[in-house]
Structures are given as C-alpha cells and as structure tokens.
Amino acid sequence: MLGLLAKIVSRHLARLPRPTLLKRGARLGWVLAHVVRHRRAEARAALKRSLPELSPTATTAALDGMYRNLSLNLVEILRMYGGATDELAALMTIEGEEHVQAALARGRGALILTAHLGNFDMLGMFAAYRHYPLTIISKRIKNAAINQIWSALRERFGIHILFAPNTARGCLKALRANGLVGFMIDQNRPREQGVFVQFFGRPACTTPGLAILSSQAQAPVIPIFISRCADGTHLLQVQPLLEPPPDREAATILRYTQLYTTITEQAIRRHPEQWTWIHRRWKTQPAPGDAVAVTA
C-alpha cells in the first residue's frame, strides 16, 4: 500500500513546476520541525554542543533548516522516481571534477568520501549520470516498499549497490575495475565495529573501513560534498585527492580516519543546516582503555 501511494505521489510531484515543488517541500519541513518535532530536542542539544559559537537564533535557524533540507530531499527524490530525471544536469554545478579524472587515470579506482549533507542521494545519481562507474554501500531501509523505491531509483541511474554488512569484497572488486566507491563515515558505529576519533570536539565511534580499503587497494580518497544553494540548485565540490595510508597498522588507520572525519566536519561547518543532526552520532562512547585519536 505504501509503495503504491509513493508511486502516485511521485508522479504528481514530477508534473509540478519546480518552484511549486520547492515550496511544498519547505512547508513539509516546517511541519516536521514544528508539529512532528522528531528528535528536535536531541538535535538542538547536539547543535549547541557542537557549534557553541552560534547564537540561539542561529541555532534555531540551523535546526529548522535541517528539517527543511530533509523534506526537500524527499520531494526531490520522489520527483525523480516519478520520471523527472531529465532535469538532473541542469540542477548541478560541479567544481574540481579534474580531481576525479586524475585519480581514475591511475587505474586503481578511487574512494569517495562524502556525508549525509545536502541532497546526498542526488550526488550519487549525478556521478552515475556522468557515466562514472559508481558503487555505493547502503543499509536496507526497514520498510520494504521505501527500500524498493530507493534501490530502483539508484539502479535506474546505473549505481551498483552493496548492502551492508560484508561489503569489503565487493568494494575491492569495484576498485580493481577502476571504479568509484562511495563511502560515508558520519554515522555512529557500535564499539566493536569502529574506532574513536574527534568529531566536533567529542569522541565519535567511526568506521575505519575507508582507511583500510584505501590502504589495501592503494586507491586514493577523494572528498566530495554536495550542498543546496539558495536558488534550489546543488553545488558539488570535489577536493584534491588524498593518498592511501602507507600501511594498515592500528595507529595509521586511526590517524587517517581522523583526517577523513576532520574533512567531513569542515564541510558540515560550512552548511550546518544541511546535515542530519537528528542522527545520534555520539551514541557509542569510549570505555576505559579505548584508543581515542587526538586532533592536531
């Protein structure tokens, strides 16, 4: 039933003029922020602790902006699922694409460091639209109908999906074929699956998988982040590539995971209203004796 409803809504959204779509997405964001208020108190606390320099007014604006961004992401993705895929190129501006081309010229593939920032799903779709061989790691969404919609849309663009866990072999295969592998490290991991690095000044349990894969495949890491612009378009910013870790010693992996996390934090600081503060990023905390990275 939910899947059928999503198809009906997506077809309706695909026919709307884009300004109307954005207005409706913004209204939905207001409802989420002020009526539904899902984890609003937790998100505000995380924002205040992470960005104490923000005034109360600026904190509220960032919080409201987060809900608006999430809602706009939803209506944009449903619109594309409904068939409005031809507008994708016109909505994207990319800076630094030469860094991706330089990495692939080495013939070892590349790992894309990104985050749940802006409309991150459209980042992957645009990469595939540009004919880059892209593999992403994804969790299965609990609701089967929604999971089917998201998977179908990604596959429509030619994105190869690896469902967690046990994705290392598939990632290595994609890299050896000189492909791109998308990787996010901005979500909490259980203690046995992560290492502790500093994220906004607090220990955060983070997957070391990106550093391990980069070292194992000798594939560079390219930070790429997408942000939503005031005019409703999207900006993709590609940063210079990062060389692979020289080895897989625990201290090396911890140091590089901290590097990737610091780069991610810097991107979030530029657009705090577009990151998912409702995620319980610091849920797992170190126990006595756990190694914790120290930023420079």
pLDDT at 73: 95
Taking the C-alpha atoms of residue 194 and residue 256, their distance in angstroms, rounded to an integer, is 13
pLDDT tens by residue, 213-246? 999 999 999 999 999 999 999 999 999 999 999 9
pLDDT tens by residue, 272-281? 999 999 999 9
pLDDT tens by residue, 92-108? 999 999 999 999 999 99
pLDDT beyond 60 at 296: no
pLDDT at 3: 67
Taking the C-alpha atoms of residue 264 and residue 112, their distance in angstroms, rounded to an integer, is 12
The whole-number average pLDDT for the span 50-55 is 97
pLDDT at 147: 77
| DSSP secondary structure of the chain | -HHHHHHHHHHHHHHS-HHHHHHHHHHHHHHIIIII-TTHHHHHHHHHHH-TTS-HHHHHHHHHHHHHHHHHHHHHHHHHHTT-GGGHHHHEEEE-HHHHHHHHTTTS-EEEEE-SBSSHHHHHHHHHHTT--EEEEEPPPSSHHHHHHHHHHHHHTT-EEEESSS-HHHHHHHHHTT-EEEEE--S---GGG-EEEEETTEEEEE--HHHHHHHHHT--EEEEEEEE-TTS-EEEEEPPPBPPPS---HHHHHHHHHHHHHHHHHHHHH-GGGB-TTS-TT-S-PPTT--B----
The whole-number average pLDDT for the span 47-69 is 97
Residue 239 has, within 13 A of its CA and on its CB side, a CA count of 18
Tokens of 217: 């495949």
pLDDT at 166: 81
